[in-house]
Chain A
Amino acid sequence: MLDVLTQLGGGFLAVLQPVNLAALLVGLVLGLLVAVLPGLTLVMGVVLALPFTYKLGITPALVLLTAMYVTGTYGGAFTAILFRIPGEPIDVPLLWDGYEMARNGEPAKALGWTLFAALAGGLVAAVVMVALSAPVARLALTFSTPEYFALVLFGLASVVCLGGGSLLNAFISLLIGLLIATVGVDGTYGTDRFSFGFTTLRDGIEYLGVMVGAYGLGEVLSRLERGFTSPALERIGRIETRLPTAGEIGAVKGTLARSSLLGIVIGIVPGAGATIASFLSYGFEAQYGRRRKDMGAGIPEGIVAPQAAATASVGGAIIPLLTLGIPGSGATAIMLAAFMLHGIQPGPQVFVSQPGLVYAIFAAVFLSLIGMVLIGYFAIKALVKVLSLREAAVSAFVVMFCFIGALAQRNNIGDLWTIVAFGGLGYVFDKLQFPIAPMVLGAILGPLAESYFLTTMIGAQNDWTVFFTRPVSLALILLSVTTVAVPLRRLWQRQA
């Protein structure tokens, strides 16, 4: 325990270094901005920021992305509560009680509750993250390739099943992502696969191009289809935040505890991020909470439940990313990509080889929560001003960030074609209601899955039962099967 605290102290000192602190501040502001702007989602914002972290060291890069991730779960609450415009899907449940409380004449109080819930939920999750990560990493160090393959399989199964929407479409999206990852010269045999004679394809398709194109350009095309529109804002007089009193906080402590726990658990499960945490937590409170009958009428529980769970999911999602190398959410998938761009494979080995980096990320979560509260409290008026920006102008900048991001990677204009192609694919996916996240995760985790699978099979002389004879591997495979079977069963029941 003392060792963990000492390392965490070292992490705080590392983040307080000028370069890292500057990265933290930039990340805080960017995270709040992307969360406030309805045209930009948290994941899209983190994707757009990723290419610009090449030139930074690994620590400031991850500090920046972590800060964006933490604040991105909170910033949209302002616009949801004040203008009934959810900046993020995460913030939709805040429309039901947060906006209602504001309409009842208490916007400052509603903003105070979100700020409190985000801070409290985030801090609880951050403490759990620090306490759990080292033991989980120690356990993961005993894993071999069959367990890792089973783990990646579980991650991919969760992404397909927990993302919502059509299971079949999500599965196809995942398979397309895995297929994209096979393009180019394979690492084991040096065999050229699906490059069709193009030199660019022989090097493989960079997952960064897949992410930036599908999330960035694809989203801009989808919005362009309706013509860029800007939201009509109500006139709000004084914008301020009034924090709840100790007595008021005491009355919602049960809700806070339940929501934080739910957020952490959902964050840990691969594929389920802040949005699912926010919705599930609100639903849980509406079904089992003490004041369930008043939910929707503008009560604090209806604000605390989704906001605490959404911010708590950040700490939860970072645990599997750092300890197992499996991203628990869309934003942590981008963080995984940031690690890999700097030549580091997250997983238990990172705790041995780069403990300073791990604890700097932990410290960044704590400091981001504090910074988020300060900016949220004092700069709220300036933040909501960005809503008056024209969507056409914001989209033009998003497109430029996508193109410059792709250029910055290798200074190769050819890479721009990749993001344009995946931008088109992202738009088509949107039209056909195929989710993008499974494809992106498939493109990122595909090479790992293939490598673990082939290494295991070679080691076991092609005996595939090896995946079922090792207890951890078997448990993970059963978990994957359950993850797929439960929603399938529900689907059949609904159809029957």
Chain B
Amino acid sequence: MQTIGRSAPFAVLLCAAVYLFTLTWQLDFPRAPDRLGPDVWPQAILVLLMMACALGIGRSLLAGRGPALTSPQAREEATLQAGRGVPEAPGAPSRYGLVAMGVLLFLAYPLALEYLGFLIGTFLLMALLMLVGQWRNLPGVLAVSAVGTLGLFYTFRGLVYVSLPLGTGPFQAATLWVAGLLGMR
């Protein structure tokens, strides 16, 4: 079971590479016998990717031992490779539910921006992300979200002139009202 789990990412990538390779046959361009087309470069990459994935699958199946990081030294090395500053605490449990909620918030944000506008959308995202991230001090969360949202809005709309979404209907009116309060047009 563990072997299948270890080789699964390589297998998925291999399937994707094979599918993309078949797509390169359908590319539409004027073919000339003495000239390389736009299909050659992606084909070369995909062939290498397929070979690398096959190697990864073979290695997972044959080795029988995974890259499970059990020793503190191995965990520290992995942390450093990942580019983080602080090694994870040993035994810290993975909470995939939090990650799923984080992803949902990220996915909802572009939609919220269109309808609710930058101010309300950002306030909600910041507050919910901090709550999901286990900060239980509600007044603190609300204060940081409100000050942060207004600070970002003023900095990027008022000073850097980034065109931040205003939202629709009443939300647009609310955003423009706050902009007016902050002295922005």
Contact = CB atoms under 8 A, between A and B. Distances in A.
Could you tell me the dominant secondary structure of chain A's interface residues? helix
A486 to B, nearest CB: 19
A172 B161 contact: no
A129 interface: no
A413 B38 CA distance: 30
11 contacts: A43-B83, A85-B86, A191-B37, A193-B27, A217-B106, A221-B103, A396-B125, A396-B129, A396-B130, A400-B126, A435-B81
A224 interface: yes
B110 interface: yes
B182 to A, nearest CB: 17
Contacts of A171: 48, 52
Interface residues of A, number: 86
Contact of A399 (B10, B36, B129): B129
A341 B130 CA distance: 33
B110 A179 contact: no
A71 to B, nearest CB: 15
Nearest to A196: B23
B133 A227 contact: yes
B117 to A, nearest CB: 11
Interface in B134-185: 134-135, 140-141, 144-145, 148, 152, 156, 160-165
B29 A194 contact: no
A55 B160 contact: yes
Contacts of B99: 221, 224-225, 427
- Complex A-B, nearest 7 residue pairs according to Cβ-Cβ distance, in ascending order: A228-B133, A392-B135, A392-B133, A416-B110, A186-B38, A392-B130, A227-B134
Nearest to B110: A416
A87 interface: yes
Contact of B165 (A41, A397, A413): A413
Contact of B163 (A44, A87, A411): A411
A463 B34 CA distance: 10
Contact of B80 (A164, A217, A437, A458): A164
Given A89-B80, A275-B80, A420-B106, A226 B129 contact: no
A390 B84 contact: no
A226 B94 contact: yes
Contacts of A457: 36
A192 interface: yes
Interface string B29-57: 11000111111111001101100110110
Contact of B85 (A91, A176, A453, A458): A91
A397 B152 CA distance: 9
B27 A191 contact: yes
Contact of A52 (B38, B86, B160): B160
Contact of A224 (B38, B53, B83, B132): B132
A404 B48 CA distance: 36
Nearest to A276: B80
A413 B83 CA distance: 29
A438 to B, nearest CB: 12
A166 B133 contact: no
A272 to B, nearest CB: 13
Nearest to A228: B133
**Interface core residue of B9, B93, B110, B134 (most chain A CB under 10 Å):** B110
Nearest to B128: A396
Contacts of A135: none
B56 A432 contact: no
A236 interface: no
Contacts of A225: 94-96, 98-99
A271 interface: no
Among A89, A91, A413, the most chain B Cβ lie within 10 Å of the Cβ of: A89
A145 interface: no
A397 B122 CA distance: 10
Contact of A393 (B83, B92, B130): B130
A172 B56 CA distance: 10
Contact of B133 (A44, A194, A330, A391): A391
B88 A226 contact: yes
Contacts of B156: 404, 408
A11 B134 CA distance: 48
A175 interface: yes
B64 interface: no
A416 B134 CA distance: 25
B82 A222 contact: yes
A378 interface: no
Given A224-B99, A396-B126, 11 more contacts: A55-B161, A172-B49, A175-B52, A191-B27, A222-B84, A226-B93, A411-B163, A413-B165, A416-B110, A420-B110, A450-B41
From B42, B92, B93, B134, name the one whose CB has the most chain A CB atoms within 10 angstroms: B42
Contacts of A423: 103, 106
Contacts of B61: none
A191 B133 contact: no
A485 B34 CA distance: 34
